[in-house]
Amino acid sequence: MSRILHRSLRKEPMLAVSGKGLLVRGTEGPPVIDASGGAAVACIGHGDERVVRAITEQARQIAYAHTVFFTCEAAEELADLLVGDSPGGLTHAYFVSSGSEAMEAALKLARQYFLEIGQPRRSRFIARRQSYHGNTLGALGLGGNMARREPYEPILANCFSHVSPCFAYRFQGEGESDADYVARLAAELEAEFQRLGPDTIAAFVAEPIVGATAGCVTALPGYFPAMREVCDRHGALLILDEVMCGMGRSGTLHAWEQEGVTPDIQTIAKGLGGGYQPIGAILAQGKIVRALSEGSGAFKHGHTYQAHPVACAAALAVQRIIREDDLLSNVRAMGARLEAGLQERFGNHAHVGDIRGRGLFWALEFVEDRASRRSFDPARKVNEAVKDAAMAAGVMIYPMGGTIDGRTGDHVIIAPPYTARPEEIDRIVELLGQAVDGVLSRPG
Ligand code: PLP
C-alpha cells in the first residue's frame, strides 16, 4: 500500500514510467497520448533533451542559492526574456513554485502597492464565480470553485467577493445581444464596487479564458475593456490569472493580447516550465514596482524556493524552445485543426452542448438534453467516466465540472502540447469520439 496521501484514497494512481513527445507510458497498458498536457502543463511535450540538459547543467553548477544572498543567471535571463521588452508595460517578474503561490503573491503585491501610495483602505478583491485561482487559502478564497471552497469556508479570508463570469453558453439571456450582455456584466461590477465602497477595492481578478472550473470559456469581445474601464474609473487594479491559459496556450504568448487590455499584474505558471520543474511567476507593471522601490524599498513577501535556479533554468529552456521552434504558429495551426475536428465529430452530438476554446485549449461540455442545456445528474460523474474511457482508449483528457453553479455540469479539456502534429490531433479527436460515444450511449 502506498504511503502517499494520494488525491484519491480509494483508487491508487498508476505509476508513470516514461514520457516522450505526446506519449506517456505507465506500468499498465500501452502508452497514451497526452492530449491535455496533464492539466494544460506539458506545453512542449515530454522528454525534450534540451530541457533535460539545461536542468542538469544548472544542478551541476549550483542547484540552490537563497535569494537573501544571491540572484542567479537563469532567473535573470528568464526575467529578461519575459519582460525585457516590457510587453504591455509589464517590467518585472517574480518567480515562485506554483500557480497558487503566484496568485498569493499577486494579491499581496496589489495590497502593498496601495499601502505604498497612501491608499490603505484598499484591501478587497472582486473575482468571478466559475473561476479557480488555486488551492492555498488566499487563492481559494479568491476563487469561485464552490466544491473546492466549501469544506474550508470557515477559514477563508473575508476580503473577497464574486460577480458573474462572462459565460455566454450558460448565462447570456435569450435574445440578449453581446453588447447588452457585456453592459450588464459591467453594471454588475460597478454595483459591486458601489456596494463595497469603491475606495476599498484593490483589484478585480479574472482568467482571460476560464480554465478548469468552467472549461475553456472565452469572454465576449469588449468584455475585458468594459471591466478595465470600471477598474480604471475607481482606481483599482486589474489582475489577470493566466496560470492555465497563458504562455502560448491561446495562440498568443499572453491570452490578454487578444482581449484589448493589459493587466496591472499577471500570473503565469503551467506553460512557463512546461512541467519540467515546478515554477510560476507574477509579471508586474513598472508603476507598481516603482511605488515599492520609491517607498519601503522591498516587496514584503518571500519564499525559500523563490526564483529557484533549477526551476528557472528549466523554464528558460522551455521558453527558448517555444520561440526558436516557432511553436506559437503551430498552436494556431493545430488549434484550428482541433477546432474543426471537434466541430465535425461532436457538432451534432446529442450530448455535447457546447464546444469552446481558443488556440490549443478546447473543452466539450456534456448535457443530458441539448435543447434545454440540462446537465447530467452529478451522481453519474460523466466527466470522470469520459476521462476513464478515454484513458482506456489511449488518450488523456482533463475532466472537470462546475460550469453552472460551481457544483454541477460536466466538461473535459483538450489541451495537447504545442508540438502536436496533424496526425496526432486527428487521432485525439478519433479516440475521444470513441470514449464519449461509449459512455454516453450507456443508459444513465
Ligand atoms: N489559477 C488557475 C487559472 C489555475 O488553473 C490553477 C491550477 O489549475 C491555479 C491558479 C493554481 O495553480 P497550482 O495548481 O499550480 O497551484
> Tens digit of pLDDT per residue, the chain (444 long)?
889 999 988 889 999 999 999 999 999 999 999 999 999 999 999 999 999 999 999 999 999 999 999 999 999 999 999 999 899 999 999 999 999 999 999 999 999 999 999 999 999 999 999 899 999 999 999 999 888 899 999 999 999 999 999 999 999 999 999 999 999 999 999 999 999 999 999 999 999 999 989 999 999 999 999 999 999 999 999 999 999 999 999 999 999 999 999 999 999 999 999 999 999 999 999 999 999 999 999 999 999 999 999 999 999 999 999 999 999 999 999 999 999 999 999 999 999 999 999 999 999 999 999 999 999 999 999 999 999 999 999 999 999 988 887 778 999 999 999 999 999 999 999 999 999 999 998 766
CA-to-CA distance for 376 and 166, rounded, in angstroms? 22
Query: What is the 98 CA–ligand 1 centroid distance (Å)?
Result: 7
DSSP assignment letter at 208: S
Strands 201-206 and 237-242: parallel
- Which residue, judged by its Cα, is nearest atom 9 of ligand 1? 134
Task: Say how many C-beta atoms besides its own lie within 10 A of residue 5's C-beta.
Answer: 6
The secondary structure element, H or E, covering residue 205 is: strand 201-206
pLDDT at 236: 98
Cell of 45: 511535450
Atom of ligand 1 nearest to the CA of 280: 15
Enter the C-alpha cell of residue 292. 515599492
Torsion of CA 401, 190, 256, 387, to 10 degrees: 0
What DSSP state is assigned to residue 277? S
Give the domain 16-47+326-441 fold.
Answer: Aspartate Aminotransferase, domain 1 (3.90.1150)
pLDDT number for residue 443: 63
Residues in the chain: 444
What pLDDT sits at residue 40?
97
Measured between its terminal Cα atoms, the distance across the chain in Å is 33
Instruction: Write out 138-203 in H/E/C secondary structure.
Output: HHHHHCCCHHHHHHHHHHCCCCEEEECCCCHHHHCCCCCCHHHHHHHHHHHHHHHHHHHCHHHEEE
Question: Which residue in this structure is represented by grid cell 460515444?
Answer: 437
What CATH number is given for 50-325 in this structure?
3.40.640.10
How far is ligand 1, taken at its centre, from the CA of residue 99, in Å? 5
3-state secondary structure of 352: strand
- Radius of gyration from C-alpha coordinates of the chain: 21
Q: Which residues of 159-197 are buried (b: 16+ CB within 10 A; e: fewer)?
A: bbebbbbbbbbbbbeeeeeeeebbeebbeebbebbeeee
pLDDT at 405: 79
Instruction: Quote the cell numbers at residue 114.
Output: 496601495
The Å distance, Cα 211 to ligand 1 centre, comes to 9
If one counts every other C-beta atom within 10 angstroms of the C-beta of residue 431, the result is: 22
Please tell me the predicted confidence (pLDDT) of residue 193: 98
Global confidence as pTM: 0.98
The C-alpha angle with vertex 122 and arms to 119 and 123, in degrees rounded to 5, equals 140
Phi/psi-derived region of residue 47, left when phi > 0, alpha when psi is between -120 and 50, beta in every other case: left
Which residues approach ligand 1 with their CB closer than 6 A? 39, 98-100, 103, 132-135, 207, 211-212, 241, 243-244, 269
Q: Where are the domains of the chain?
A: 16-47+326-441, 50-325
**Contacts of 365 by beta carbon, 8 Å cutoff, 6+ apart:** 169, 215, 352, 353, 354, 355, 356, 403, 409, 410, 411
- Whole-angstrom distance, CA of residue 87 vs CA of residue 232: 19
96 C-alpha to ligand 1 centroid (Å):
13
Distances (CA, A) of 394 to 22, 33, 36, 364, 441: 11, 6, 12, 18, 19
The three three-digit cell numbers of residue 296, written as one number: 519601503
CB atoms within 10 A of CB 283: 28
DSSP 8-state code for residue 292: H
Ligand 1 pocket: which of 239, 270, 411 to mutate (most atoms within 8 A of CB): 270
284 beta partners: 92, 265
Distance, in Å, from the CA atom of 202 to the CA atom of 112, rounded to the nearest integer, reads 10
